[in-house]
Structures are given as structure tokens and as C-alpha cells.
Amino acid sequence: MIVYLNGDYLGKEKAQISVDDRAFLFADGVYEVIRAYNGRLFKLPEHLRRLEQSVRGIRIPFSEFKKVGEVAERLVAENKLTSGNALIYVEVTRGSAARTHAFPPPETKPNVYVGPLEFSKKRHSQQEKGISVILVPDIRWSRCDIKTVGLLPNVLMAQRALDEGADDAIFVRDAVAIEGTASNFFGIFQGVVVTHPKTNLMLAGITRDVVLELCGNLGLPTRESPILESDLPQADELFVTSTTMEVTPVVEVDGRKVGDGKPGRITRRLQKAFREYVESLGD
Ligand code: PDD
């Protein structure tokens, strides 16, 4: 596997980074996960724009977003990821420097890594069968709109879900079901597709935007408003969206079935529309 690290293309096993890297020491870095379908990076400009927002959000002096896009494209080709599904991971950290909490000297160069991620086959069966989730307290900070590598709450809650026999967890803050550990959360209530508005408390998912656009195309009404935990039992359907999960039905919440416990009709329509949308980009 060929990866990119700070200007070099090299075998992944040769890619090494300093123990003074600030993401290692402080989680002082941001990232993106970009999907490639048949060798084409899906929504690359949108991912680069969000990377820019994240970098700005934590004040890393980095601006080579076009270059990151070119690197990602080259890695897809060099690793022969030109058919089927692939994922490209991008991370930009504040660089390596003597450990001080405040920013390092201004000449410190950001560390930039781009490399393929393993593609998990279980995603397909989860999209077919749906997933079970548990509701967990949102113990994250209040800048969840920045895609930082500080993911410990997400890690702990994803593991809690597995420990409890569920597939994933949904963060609940102030009685609102906000998003998953690595996905956005949608509910369908009396035919209206509802998802949390873009605020500092959630990540503005790129898949979320695509799905809202597809709802528009299909004539499905949408509303960007908080989904109350107490409203979940009334949901006709629930699903999550992300680069890795696309549109994945949620069929069980805290052990209680959603609807009849099977992926819902509208969710299925959106999955189909999503697939067709991806295929149309390949033409
Ligand atoms: N995560 N919310 C959170 C907290 C996320 O981590 C993600 C994506 C999303 C969905 O964003 P998008 O549709 O742009 O992928 C929402 C990536 C996939 C990850 O951490 O692996």
C-alpha cells in the first residue's frame, strides 16, 4: 500500500511520524474520510472545503487543499483502487514540536498524511439488514462541527454499543438525539424526513447534504430540526448517513424495534436514489 506523508510517496510500513507530533500528544489535528467509487473520489471539493473549515477552526496554518486532492487522486491510481469501493483518509496535524500546550513556534510545519483505509465488507450487510443502536450521553466538546481526530468519546461509545450487543450509538445531548459516533442521524415522522440542523453540536456530513438533495428530487418533505429522544418511539423510520455507511437503516433503538423492525420504505427509496446518484457520476 502506497501512502503520502509530508511530500513523500512511500510504502505504508515505511511511513513514520515523530512522537512529538501534536496529534499524538494532544489530538491536535483534523481529518477527512473520502470515498472512491470505481476510482472516482466522491464529493472531493466538498471534502476539501470541510478540511479547510476544520483547519481554520483549530487555526493550523495550512492551505494546500488542492494538493491534498491531487495526492488523494494519485493514491487511488497508484494503489489500483480503480474499481469498486475504496476509502481515502487525510490527516493534517499542527506538526511536531517540543510539548507545550500553546501553539508551537510559527515555523513548525503541519504534518500531512494521506492513505487508503481498509474497506469493511460488513457495511453492505448493515445497509441491507439495518443496524441496532443505543442512545448514549453526548460527552463530546461543543465544537463537534470541526472534524478533529479527538474522537475518544466516539471511540468509547462505539465500543459501549458493541459491548451491549448493538451496532452503534447515537449521542443524546439535552434530550436531543444528535448524531451517531461516525454518522448523521435521520428520522421520518409522518412522512417528513427530519435531521439535526447544522450547528456546532454536530458534524455537517457530506452524505447528509446529498441525502437532503435527493429528498428534494424525490419530492420528500424535509425539516432540519432537533429530533427529541422522546419522539423516537413515534418515528416511522430511522437511518444514519456517512461516507462509510452511505444510507444505513436503523431498525432498533435501545432494544426497541423501529416500526416493524425492518428497514423502512422511504429509507429504501433513499438508498436506491443514492446508488443511482453515485452511478450517474460515473457516466
Ligand atoms: N465520519 N458525524 C460524525 C461524528 C462523523 O464522524 C461523520 C463521518 C459524519 C458523516 O459525515 P460524512 O457524511 O461527511 O462522512 C457525521 C467518518 C466517516 C469517520 O470518522 O470515519
List 147, 257, 262, 272, catalytic entry: 147
Residue 228: CB partners within 8 Å, gap ≥ 6?
Answer: 175, 176, 177
Output the residue whose Cα is nearest ligand 1's atom 20. Answer: 182
Q: Quick one: DSSP state of residue 251?
A: E
11 alpha carbon – ligand 1 mean position (Å): 27
Output the residue whose Cα is nearest ligand 1's atom 2. Answer: 183
The number of the ligand 1 atom at minimal distance from the alpha carbon of 241 is: 13
Residues in the chain: 283
Ligand 1 in reach of 242 Cβ (< 6 A): yes
44 alpha carbon – ligand 1 mean position (Å): 14
* Contact call for residues 206 and 243 (beta carbons, < 8 A): yes
Ligand 1 in reach of 148 Cβ (< 6 A): no
For residue 274, the tally of other CB atoms under 10 A from its CB is: 18
Cell matching residue 199: 450547528
Ligand 1 in reach of 215 Cβ (< 6 A): no
Ligand 1 in reach of 244 Cβ (< 6 A): yes
Closest to 248 in 3D by CA, of 199, 205, 218: 205
| 43 is annotated as an active-site residue | no
Average pLDDT, the chain: 97
241 alpha carbon – ligand 1 mean position (Å): 8
Residue 185: CB partners within 8 Å, gap ≥ 6?
Answer: 170, 177, 178, 179, 195, 196, 227, 238, 240, 250
Closest to 238 in 3D by CA, of 174, 175, 168: 168
* Contact call for residues 111 and 93 (beta carbons, < 8 A): yes
Q: What is the rounded CA–CA span in Å between residue 16 and residue 68?
A: 19
pLDDT tens for the chain, residues 1 to 283: 999 999 999 999 999 999 999 999 999 999 999 999 999 999 999 999 999 999 999 999 999 999 999 999 999 999 999 999 999 999 999 999 999 999 999 999 999 999 999 988 888 999 999 999 999 999 999 999 999 999 999 999 999 999 999 999 999 999 999 999 999 999 999 999 999 999 999 999 999 999 999 999 999 999 999 999 999 999 999 999 999 999 999 999 999 999 999 999 999 999 999 999 999 997 6
Instruction: Give how far the C-alpha of residue 237 lies from the chain's centroid of Cα atoms, to the nearest Å.
Output: 21
